[in-house]
Amino acid sequence: MLVCMPKSTRFDSLRARGQTFAWILIVSLLAVFSLQLVHVARLYSANWDEAHHLYDGYLILTQHDYRANAEVPPLVKITAALPLLRMHLALPGSTGTPQTENAFLGGRTFVFANGGDRLLFPARMACMLFSLVTALLVYATGRRFFGMLAGVCSLFLFVFDPNLLAHGTLISTDVGSACFFLATVYAFYLYSVQPSWKVLLVTGLLAGLALVTKFTGILIAPILLLIAVVEGVRERRPATAARLLGASFAVLACAWLVLWAFYGFRYAAAPHGLQLSPTLGEYLASLPNPAQGAKLALFARFHLLPQAYIWGLANTKHIEQEYTSYFFGHVYRHGPWEYFPAAFFIKSTLPLLLLLLLAPLLWLKEGRAYGRQMVFLLVPVCVYFAVVTTSHFDIGARHLMPVYPFLYVLAGAIAAMFLRRGSGWAALAAALLLWQVVTTVRIAPNYMAYGNEAWGGPLQVRHYLSDANVDWGQQLKTVKQYLDQQHDPDCWFAYFPDGAVQPQDYGIHCHRLPTPSGLWWFTLPMEVPPQINGTVLISESDLEGVESGDGALNPYEGFQKLKPTAILQDGVYVYQGSFAVPLASAWVDVRQSAALVQKDELQQALLLAQRAVTLAPQSARTQLQLADVLAAETQWNSAKKHYQLAQENLLNHRPDLEQEELGIRIQNGLDAAVTR
């Protein structure tokens, strides 16, 4: 006998099956995401920043000392250090160097004297939690805003994003910042729909976590305030704007308390009267913009923020001025405003960009139904882009990480809309989702260097962007494996983070080639002849002259025209043969000559300076060193001649890059020579 199931019962059964399938898919996506992240955590060597982040996190947890790396707020660092608390670890002594340098030196010693990956891997697993939470938030936001299918599509796209996979397990603040930006805005949305003091309290807690994750967390304030205003305008109800503005101020007050809690409600950066180096007053006085220093000094005077937090805010202003930027084949003192928009279009996947390009269709078809959701998605993106575009901190698309969760929620909604609109549109959406997977699988595990197909793929990114867009120094395990396979002990290596991490930390014993940081900041030992032979490895960032400058300022410019023997992790270029490196050799002579002048060994200093000028006569740096030695020997006429040559070289090449570093020294030396 046939029994007809009621229509409503059949519908409920189908919906239950659909939800079960959706949950199986969600769990599967998170599992795949986790496996990819674990693989990255095992493969990538320590990058520029991880060791000193981890070192500082450990000092905060064990000694309540925030000085080592005050340039970054504490949340991610202490999360990374939590798994280390049960280990018996040796702490390095002070190097007697300024604070930022000591953090790098102490961090390297701390990590590699205690086992390297023994510390890094569990720390990275702890940081992976931020990625997993962000993934869940992307799903939850997509589902709440646009329905379960949109949430699943958003999650699907998110977990196959190469940028998230590159940074999602590193001891870095970028993904953590993205996590708490989305979490705060999502919680504020829930409050706007159904006001509750409990939801408001959670929103304040999350906003506070954003503040102690990365200094860009401060942007939560204008984002929430602008959302309140826009919502009031959209609803044409001033009362709505007033209510949400009041809620925003309550959230920010709570966030301020959370920030203080993470610093132990103590103003001083360290216990027992220990001081920052340089002190906060000295550091604020040295800011390039005195007005900014005065504002931060006011915060310090009234203890409105913890001392270490104020020091970190000042550090962001310092590095904006100090860091150079590589953009479309040239190094700039400060990157152009187009840097981050271009980086977004180069580093984002084409499926994401195409779905966003189709976003107006969602607005035209269903805009009225989703007006509030669009406000909460687009205002954070617009505010964040407006701020970073006008900043001078142009060193990596990773700083755009907070906008990606919002954009993936929107892209997932568009994909879901197409999946529901008939076979043709559904086929397009399915193709874009599949394309996202193929993109990731094709470049795995070299996610760091990802660039989309419209720009030529990963190996072409170096023509447009550098630094952490391609090379953050994460390739040493791959380099070690390559050299072991080649059985070639005679190698030379210009390694981008040399000093913060060193090749020998991973068993690589190549001769060291100079990098600006390794030579003048970390003062690493090296001897470089004008001609080198064998296998030469050059980090992509050094190949492009990210720190030194492009063109004649770059000692490795000649290698750009050569075809490499191999490219490791799309970020270390390998050459074999005999190569002239006169500027690199001259740099080493300049440093050694300057050290001998300090010891009053002027004759030997003069010989090295003369050799440097012979090797690189067009370098302002070599001419300046020779002039300084001659001045120390009171040979003023000869010194004047070389100061003038140094000045000419400076003006002939890139005065915008070297003026701040060398220009004042040259002018002071020339003035002294003229008056003698």
Query: Is the domain of 374 the same as that of 458?
Result: yes
Q: Residues 6 or more apart from 338 whose CB is under 8 A from it?
A: 327
Residue 413 C-alpha from the chain's centroid:
29
pLDDT category at 364 given cuts 50, 70, 90 is confident
Instruction: Give dist(CA 320, CA 325) in Å, integer.
Output: 10
pLDDT of residue 187 exceeding 90, the answer is yes
**Average of per-residue pLDDT across 651-672:** 76
pLDDT digit string (tens) for 241-265?
Answer: 999 999 999 999 999 999 999 999 9
Query: Is the domain of 441 the same as that of 330?
Result: yes
Query: Is the domain of 362 the same as that of 448?
Result: yes
pLDDT digit string (tens) for 586-624?
Answer: 999 999 999 999 999 999 999 999 999 999 999 999 999
The mean-pLDDT minimum among 40-49, 97-106, 497-506, 616-625 falls in: 97-106
Of 262, 282, 314, the residue that ends a domain is: 262
Give residue 3's pLDDT.
47
Burial call 43-68: b when 16+ CB within 10 Å, e when fewer: ebbbbbbbbbbbbbbbbbbeeebbbb
Other C-beta atoms closer than 10 Å to the C-beta of 12 total 12
Of 423, 439, 473, the residue that ends a domain is: 473
Query: Is the domain of 508 the same as that of 625?
Result: no
Give residue 440's pLDDT.
94
Amino acid symbol at 425: W
Instruction: Give dist(CA 307, CA 300) in Å, integer.
Output: 7
**DSSP conformation letters of 51-64:** HHHHHHHHHHHHH-
Give residue 19's pLDDT.
77
Query: Is the domain of 489 the same as that of 565?
Result: yes
3-state secondary structure at position 156: helix
CATH number at residue 596: 1.25.40.10
Helix H or strand E segment including 99: helix 99-113
pLDDT of residue 67 exceeding 60, the answer is yes
pLDDT category at 342 given cuts 50, 70, 90 is very high
The mean-pLDDT minimum among 13-17, 136-140, 301-305, 347-351 falls in: 13-17
pLDDT category at 516 given cuts 50, 70, 90 is very high
Cβ proximity of 362 and 421 under 8 Å = no
Residue 139 lies in a domain: no
Residue 220 lies in a domain: yes
pLDDT of residue 96 exceeding 70, the answer is no
Residue 21 lies in a domain: no
Query: Which tokens go with 140?
Result: 């939850």
Query: Is the domain of 484 the same as that of 385?
Result: no
Give residue 1's pLDDT.
40
pLDDT of residue 578 exceeding 90, the answer is yes
Give residue 659's pLDDT.
64
Give residue 16's pLDDT.
64
Query: Is the domain of 467 the same as that of 336?
Result: yes
Residue 69 lies in a domain: no
Residue with tokens 């950066």: 269
Query: Which tokens go with 574?
Result: 């390998």
Query: Which tokens go with 335?
Result: 């990157």
pLDDT digit string (tens) for 648-661?
Answer: 988 887 777 666 67
Q: Which domain holds residue 436?
A: 26-46+148-170+323-473
| Count of alpha carbons within 13 angstroms of residue 196, beta-carbon side | 10
Residue 65 lies in a domain: no
pLDDT category at 662 given cuts 50, 70, 90 is confident
pLDDT category at 490 given cuts 50, 70, 90 is confident
Residue 363 lies in a domain: yes
pLDDT category at 289 given cuts 50, 70, 90 is confident
pLDDT of residue 118 exceeding 80, the answer is yes
Query: Is the domain of 469 the same as that of 327?
Result: yes
Query: Is the domain of 363 the same as that of 462?
Result: yes
Secondary structure, 3-state, 570-589:
CCEEEEEEEEECHHHHHHHH
Query: Is the domain of 380 the same as that of 467?
Result: yes
The mean-pLDDT minimum among 197-211, 321-335, 469-483, 524-538 falls in: 321-335
pLDDT of residue 538 exceeding 70, the answer is yes
pLDDT category at 156 given cuts 50, 70, 90 is very high
From residue 260, alpha-carbon distances to 1, 181, 307 in Å are 72, 19, 10
Residue 612 lies in a domain: yes
Query: Is the domain of 502 the same as that of 544?
Result: yes
Give residue 393's pLDDT.
78
Cβ proximity of 169 and 46 under 8 Å = no
Residue 552 lies in a domain: yes
3-state secondary structure at position 327: strand
pLDDT category at 18 given cuts 50, 70, 90 is low
pTM above 0.85, yes or no: yes
pLDDT digit string (tens) for 291-338?
Answer: 999 999 999 999 999 999 999 999 988 888 778 889 998 888 877 889
Nearest to 473 by CA among 172, 133, 50, 71: 50
Burial call 616-640: b when 16+ CB within 10 Å, e when fewer: beebbbbbbbbbbbbbeeebbeebb
How many separate domains does the chain show? 4
Query: Is the domain of 370 the same as that of 457?
Result: yes
∠ CA 259-261-263, rounded to 5°: 80
Residue 621 C-alpha from the chain's centroid:
30
Instruction: Give dist(CA 529, CA 584) in Å, integer.
Output: 9
Mean pLDDT of all residues belonging to the chain: 92
pLDDT digit string (tens) for 443-486?
Answer: 999 999 999 999 999 999 999 999 889 999 999 999 999 999 98
